[in-house]
Amino acid sequence: MKRLLVFLLFTSIFYSQNEKDLVLFKINDIETTLGEFNRVYNKNIDLVEDSKENDYMSYLELFINYKLKLAEAYDLGYDKNEDYQKEYKKYKNQLLKGYLTDSESQERLVEEAYERTRNEVQVSHILIRNNDQTNDSSEIYNRLSNLRLPFLEKNIEIFNKEHNSDKQLIIEDLGYFSAFKMIYEFENIAYNTEVGKVSRPFKTKFGFHILKVTDKRESLGEISVAHIMIYKKSSNSKEKITKILDSINKGSSFESMAKLYSQDKRSAARGGVLNKFSSGQINSIPFENAAFSLKNIGDISNPIETKFGWHIIKLLSRNEIKSFDELKPSILSKIRRGARNEYISNSFNQFLDDKYNLSTENIDYKFIIPLLNDSITKNKWKINYNDLKFHEPLFVINQKTIFKKDFLQYVEKNQSFISSKDFEQVANNLFSRFYRDILLEEYKKDLERENSEYNNILTEYREGLLMFNIMQEKVWSIGEKDSIVLREYYIKNIDKYDSFETNRGKIIADYQKKVENNWIENLRKTNSIVLYSKAMRRLKKMYK
């Protein structure tokens, strides 16, 4: 058995000039720094019950006990347990997700999206599709450039009539919209164009556009409405909707009239109720304008004509835009599912390139192109990557050499998704993935060493999980099912309790506390504990 060595070590060895790196105490060969103690103490200060002038010393005793238990958990191999490793790995992978992104770019995009959610933009646009690869992009660009001035000067209806016979142009009034209602490239141009201006031509996946911004306003929020609709193709549709409105005005229920007469069968069954919507979500500007113009809950519109038919609309509810904190989770979810995520990924990839001082442009990975053949499209491509010429370096990261054979092995394992015979493009895509995987794995390894926040969270979970497991075995499982042991303890301490049955829970807790105290006492006798004077003096100054 080891002798108890609790004493102050009057020496200056083994400490860093940085106070947080000063060694506060050592259990056997495991050191704990002043920085670690301060972080944990300040995080859990409310749990300390002693007086303010002594509470840091009380907590130090608790912390030493904690570290003693943890040391035994490692000595007994709890960290090697398969279930422990599985659970720890699962948590680590989940935690990693929050650090494998450009958090600054992500936060900026969240704030941008929220601001755009609060403010709507009114836009019309001209689109020329570029589906036919024979179309000259420069010709389309020039044509749209020439249309900017007349598009700016003329009303959208007049401009549309003048170009009605031009099948190349798609001219649309998009009304008001906010964040996430259009593709991100289009949304960006719209919000960055001044009111009363026409953008320069720009390209999206749909083709080439110019857009005109006619207004910007605060969001009208989200509303819920019910409607009754009569299709245009119905005879006397306007007359029918007018009679329905008259009946409602005379006391008929809007809901019952919707169920009886509305030709929008999907909503009719619900009394005409539509899903909640905000600006830009309804495929009808007249309908949207009429709905948002209703002021009070229960107001009913006059008959409104749309491209679908005639409607009357009833306002059911109106909701203001929620706060940033309330909307942030849903905004973040939309960003991760949409095109904005590509911007974040590109930014993070650039961060990794800069961190490791690498670029694909300077790596000769195209040696693989002549080695590729049709067999790769059938998942049958093989090569002797043990050939000495493939043992040449491809690139170096963190003083670790990545060889050509490493890339070849990756290709062989990841060929199942390849269908293209454009082998240059195949090589580009495969190497891009291989390169990104290598950088990402290196970054994961560096995180624990370089990112204190990540390391602290991971350490707390790792140690907390070990502590739970050893406490479960050494303390919490003892006495719960052993009635004989509990009754013996009860008899020895009978003066403390009214009866065994009514105090069983307290008896279990008291007995387990006794077991834990005995365990700690034994740990303190069998382990070497050294306190360092320099760190102790500094600790006293910090909390005096």
**Quick one: average pLDDT of 27-45?**
92
> Per the structure block, which two tokens stand in for 405?
């054979």
**Separation of alpha carbons 141 and 123, rounded Å:** 20
Collapsing DSSP to helix, strand or coil, 231 comes out as strand
CATH number of the domain enclosing 461: 1.10.4030.10
Q: What is the pTM of this model?
A: 0.70
The one-letter amino acid at 142: N
Please determine, for residue 332, whether its predicted confidence score (pLDDT) is greater than 90. Answer: yes
On whether both 132 and 205 belong to a single domain, the answer is yes
Close Cβ partners of 167 (under 8 Å, ≥ 6 residues apart): none
Strand pairing category for 23-27 and 529-532: antiparallel
Q: Which of 249, 265, 224 is nearest to 241 (CA)?
A: 249
In this predicted model, which residue has the larger pLDDT, 398 or 543? 398
pLDDT for the residue numbered 478: 81
Q: Which two tokens stand for residue 476?
A: 């919490």
Predicted confidence band at 484 (pLDDT cuts at 50, 70, 90)?
confident
Is the CB of residue 284 less than 8 Å from the CB of residue 212? Answer: no
**Is residue 104 situated within a structural domain?**
no
- Check whether residue 228 and residue 297 sit in a common domain: yes
Q: Give the per-residue pLDDT at 235.
A: 80
Which residues, 6+ apart, have CB-to-CB distance to 69 below 8 Å? 467, 470, 471, 474, 519, 520, 523
| Cα torsion 351, 357, 362, 364: sign | negative
Q: What beta strand segments (E) does 11-166 contain?
A: 23-27, 30-33, 119-128
Q: Please report the sign of the dihedral spanned by the C-alpha atoms of residue 311, residue 316, residue 318, residue 319.
A: negative
Mark residue 221 as left, alpha or beta (left: phi above 0; alpha: psi -120 to 50; beta: remaining): left
Answer whether residue 325 is part of any domain.
Answer: no
Residues 538 and 477 in one domain: yes
Phi-psi region at 479: left, alpha or beta (left = phi > 0; alpha = psi -120 to 50): left
| pLDDT band, residue 283 (cuts 50/70/90) | confident
Nearest to 227 by CA among 312, 309, 315: 312
Per DSSP, helices labelled H in 227-372 are 237-249, 254-261, 265-268, 285-293, 324-337, 340-355
Asked if residue 434 and residue 373 are part of one domain, the reply reads yes
Residues 408 and 483 in one domain: no
Measured at the CA of 372, the angle between CA 371 and CA 377, to 5 degrees, comes to 160
Q: Please report where in the chains the tokens 């992009």 appear, as a residue.
A: 137
Predicted confidence band of residue 14 (pLDDT cuts 50, 70, 90): very low
The answer on pLDDT for 4 being more than 50 is no
Q: Angle at CA 431, nearest 5°, toward 429 and 437? A: 105
- 209 and 119, same structural domain? yes
Among 258, 292, 319, the domain-final residue is: 319
SS3 251: coil
Query: Is there a domain that residue 424 lies in?
Result: yes
The pLDDT tens digits of the residues spanning 297-327 come to 999 999 999 999 999 999 999 999 999 999 9
How many angstroms separate the CA atoms of 182 and 287, rounded?
A: 19
Helix H or strand E segment including 318: strand 309-319
Q: Which of 379, 406, 373 is nearest to 392 (CA)?
A: 406
Q: Are 195 and 207 in contact (CB under 8 A)?
A: no
Assess whether pLDDT exceeds 90 at residue 233: no
Per the structure, how many domains does the chain have? 4
Q: Is the dihedral of CA 141, 146, 149, 155 positive or negative?
A: negative
pLDDT the model gives residue 47: 63
Token pair in block for residue 56: 């840091």
Predicted pLDDT at 135:
62
Mean pLDDT in residue range 525-538: 94
pLDDT in tens, 376-411: 999 999 998 888 889 999 999 999 999 999 999 999
Judged by DSSP in three states, 534 sits in helix
CB 169 within 8 A of CB 106: no
CATH code of the domain in which 227 resides? 3.10.50.40
Q: How many CB atoms lie within 10 A of CB 274?
A: 19
The two three-digit tokens of residue 508, written as one number: 């279990």
- For the segment 162-191, the average pLDDT, to the nearest whole number, is 95
Nearest partner of 223 among 271, 272, 291, judged by Cα: 291
Task: Answer whether residue 539 is part of any domain.
Answer: yes
pLDDT, residue 50, reads 52
Is residue 340 included in any domain, yes or no?
no
3-class secondary structure, 322: coil
> Which pair of tokens denotes residue 70?
């943890």
3-class DSSP state of 479: coil
Note the pLDDT tens digit of each residue in 412-465: 999 998 999 999 999 999 999 999 999 999 999 999 999 999 999 999 999 999
**pLDDT value at position 9?**
40
- Residue in the block written with tokens 């195949």: 426
What whole-number distance in Å separates Cα of residue 162 and Cα of residue 169? Answer: 11
Q: Are residues 180 and 248 in the same domain?
A: no
Domain holding 190, by residue range, is 115-218
Residue 338 inside a domain? The answer is no
Q: How far apart are CA 203 and CA 115, in angstroms?
A: 24
pLDDT band at residue 132, thresholds of 50, 70 and 90?
low
246-268 average pLDDT score: 95
Q: Give the strand order in the sheet containing 529-532.
A: 8-9, 529-532, 23-27, 30-33
Helix (H) or strand (E) holding 540: helix 533-543
Do 439 and 526 sit in the same domain of this protein?
Answer: no
229 lies in the same domain as 306: yes
Query: Which of 218, 234, 253 finishes a domain?
Result: 218
Computed over every residue of the chain, the mean pLDDT equals 91
**Residue finishing a domain among 448, 467, 484:** 448
Shared domain check, 306 and 230? yes
> ∠ CA 381-382-388 to the nearest 5 degrees?
140
Q: Give residue 483's pLDDT.
A: 77
Do 375 and 288 belong to one domain? no
- Percent pLDDT > 90 in the chain is 78
The answer to whether position 282 is within a domain reads yes
* CA atoms of 85 and 355, how far apart (whole Å): 30
Distance, in Å, from the CA atom of 199 to the CA atom of 170, rounded to the nearest integer, reads 16
Residue percentage of the chain with pLDDT more than 70:
94
The pLDDT of residue 453 is: 92
180 dihedral zone (left: phi>0; alpha: psi -120 to 50; beta): left
Is 231 part of a structural domain of the chain?
yes
Average pLDDT over residues 525-530: 96
Residues 459, 427: one domain?
no
